[in-house]
Amino acid sequence: MISPAIRPYRPEDRDALYDICMRTGAAGGDARGVYRDQTLLPEIFAGPYAALEPDLAFVLDDGGRAVGYVLGTSDTARFAQDFREKWLPTVAARHPLPGGEPGTPDAVMTEFLHHPELMVNPALADYPAHLHIDLLPGYQGQGYGRTLLTTLFAALDKAGVARVHLVMSSANTGARAFYDRVGFHEISVPDPGELTFLGRSTAA
């Protein structure tokens, strides 16, 4: 039996990334029954990172396909601009803006897709990099998440990026406990709503 191993992202991993994103996209739970559009979340939180910053994309491979990933950017402000200029034109037609006030999960996320500048928060200026990490349930709690993160931290540190942040649902208490164990601390952000903002150094 082949042990799962971490490796750089490859373009053929795209479908697996999208699947993982949906299976873990509802505060860590399965989002496939929450969103009607099964490509919306991945085209915000997975696809653009793999396309725009593949050198900061790593997957956990079980010997047949990716079963987890960590994706990141070294510069959130630049990433938001690239998202608008390079990524959004490739996906916007599939996800048109809803009219009126967003009233469904799909509508809320579609608004976010079309306004990538929302990911730039002045309170996070000292943490210019950010990341997304997801593992299928069968691979959680075995140390793979920690190893994925340390792989990304090393790449960011090598690129000269000192700090990284992430944004998570405050309801995802299991993930919060994990992030605490791997050295993240909470960052005070005005009006965080239902989100928690965490940061840490990229140094080992």
* 133 close to 70: Cβ distance less than 8 angstroms: yes
**pLDDT tens-place string over residues 10-42:** 999 999 999 999 999 998 999 999 999 999 999
Q: Please state the pTM of the whole predicted model.
A: 0.95
Which residues have C-beta within 8 Å of that of residue 145, sequence separation ≥ 6? 68, 133, 135, 178, 182
Per-residue pLDDT of 170-185, as tens digits, reads 989 999 999 999 999 9
Successive 10-residue mean pLDDT values, the chain, 204 residues:
91 98 94 96 98 98 97 98 98 91 89 96 97 96 97 97 97 93 96 95 92
Query: Kind and range of the H or E element at 157?
Result: helix 144-158
Distance CA 150, CA 55 (A): 14
What pLDDT, on a 0 to 100 scale, did the predictor assign at position 1?
64
Beta strand residue intervals within the chain, DSSP E: 5-8, 57-61, 66-73, 129-135, 163-169, 185-186, 195-201
5-201 CATH choice from 3.40.462.40, 3.40.1410.10, 3.40.630.30, 3.40.50.300: 3.40.630.30
d(CA 18, CA 113): 15
Q: Token match 């000292």: residue?
A: 126
Contact 70, 151 (CB under 8 A): yes
- Rg of the Cα atoms in the chain: 16
Count of CB atoms situated within 10 Å of the CB of 67: 21
